[in-house]
Amino acid sequence: MPSTPSTQPSSSPSSRKFGWLAAAIVAGCVLWSVGWFLVAAKIEDHLPETLARITGTDAKAGCENPEVRGYPFRFGVFCQTLTYANAKDGVTAISGALRSAAQFYRPGHVVAEIDGPLAITAPGLDARLDWQVLQASVNADPHGVSRGSLDGRKMSFDIDGAGLTHKLAMQAARITAHGRKNGPDLDVVIQGEGLQNSFSAGLTAKALTMEATLPGQAGLLDAPYTAVSAPYEIRFHRLAVELDDTSSLEISGPVQIAADRRISGALDVTVRNQQRIIELAATMNPELSSLINRLAPMIETLDTRPDEDGITLSLTIRNNRVSLGMFPLGQLPDF
């Protein structure tokens, strides 16, 4: 009797390929998940050691209730609070929560958000900073940080200290700060918008800008962190305070801080709307305002750039003693 062909369909090659593909995807997801959680656990376990490398032996940083989040494609450290203490210098600091993230394919670029307030105590100083939003971005290199940025919105500063006659309170609509290594040097840019204070009604500023280089100080971004020590130099490319659309004060030039912390430098000072600056000086220091008023008739003759907008003057500092040309203006306080 002839055999009857089977009526059960055999699996096609395309079906088997799809099955193998699905199995590979599932296995890959499982392996990825296992690997992600293993790496997250390693980051969390080594966090105290990582913080110790950043702060060095003289200080200690802490992350309360650390947790690594970001599955499946990010890694981020979350802390309820951040703490810092340097017993040698008597400095302590504590802030709100930290939330950070880095893409798995670019682990050296970390973005973070920090909650306020930040409270800082040091010998003779108490400071409190707060903000609506504070974001940070850091690019790491084998030695520490190659560049970093901060961006704060609606910031407030309250500072009290033994040498202050009254508490200082300042506010800013926005402050940004950027630092980067430039060969052996450190470049710094700080910008502020909508600056106000509570100790001098006339001292408000539309904008504040500082662009500077610290020669030979790129190591300030290396780990462990070490504070800058005298002697050192700051080259101000631009230090400008814009009071309004027509009034500003701009400074440029090098400043040297000696080993005894006395300051010397040769600066160019450009003033726009001279009368507005004199009025502001009167609210801060009547004696200085009186001196500037006496020199006002001669100031235009000292202008080193008569063809440009405003008046540019040469300001000299020698061991904290400040002079405008041949006219002494006073002495800077020791710090």
pLDDT in tens, 239-261: 999 988 888 889 999 999 999 99
Question: Could you give the CA distance from residue 155 to residue 39 in angstroms, rounded to a whole number?
Answer: 36
CA 291/CA 165 separation, integer angstroms: 24
pLDDT tens, position by position, 172-211: 999 999 999 999 999 999 999 998 876 665 567 889 999 9
**How distant, in Å, are the alpha carbons of 176, 273, 275, 279 from that of 243?**
18, 10, 12, 12
What is the model's pLDDT at position 309? 74
**Contact in structure between 192 and 204 (CB atoms under 8 Å):** no
What is the pLDDT, as a whole number, of residue 88?
87
In this prediction, the residues of the chain whose per-residue pLDDT falls under 70 are 1-12, 163, 198-203, 281-293, 295-304, 306-307, 335
Question: Angle formed by the axes of helices 13-45 and 47-55, to 10°?
Answer: 50
Domain ranges of the chain: 19-123
- Distance CA(119)–CA(25), nearest Å, equals 49
Q: CB neighbours (10 Å) of residue 15?
A: 11
Write the DSSP symbol of residue 222.
B
CA atoms within 13 A on the CB side of 34: 6
Whether residue 72 has a cis bond before it, omega within 30° of 0: yes
d(CA 292, CA 284) in angstroms, rounded, equals 13
CB-neighbour burial class of residue 192 (10 A; exposed 0-12, middle 13-18, buried 19+): buried
> Comparing C-alpha atoms, which of 179, 175, 178 is closest to residue 193?
175
- Cα–Cα dist 249/209, whole Å: 11
169 contacts 156 by C-beta, under 8 angstroms: yes
Q: Say if residue 117 is preceded by a cis peptide, omega within 30 of 0.
A: yes
**What pLDDT score does 1 carry?**
46
Q: Tokens for 94, please give them.
A: 């504590």
With b for 16 or more beta-carbon neighbours within 10 A and e for fewer, the 53-87 pattern comes to eebeeebbbbbeebebebeeebbbbbbeebebbbe
Look at residue 203 in the predicted model and tell me its pLDDT: 67
**Residue 71 CA, distance from chain mean position:** 29
Residue 199: predicted pLDDT: 60
Q: What residues contact residue 22 under an 8 Å CB cut-off, 6+ apart?
A: none
How many angstroms separate the CA atoms of 166 and 16, rounded? 80
Give phi and psi for 291, each to the nearest 5: -65, -45
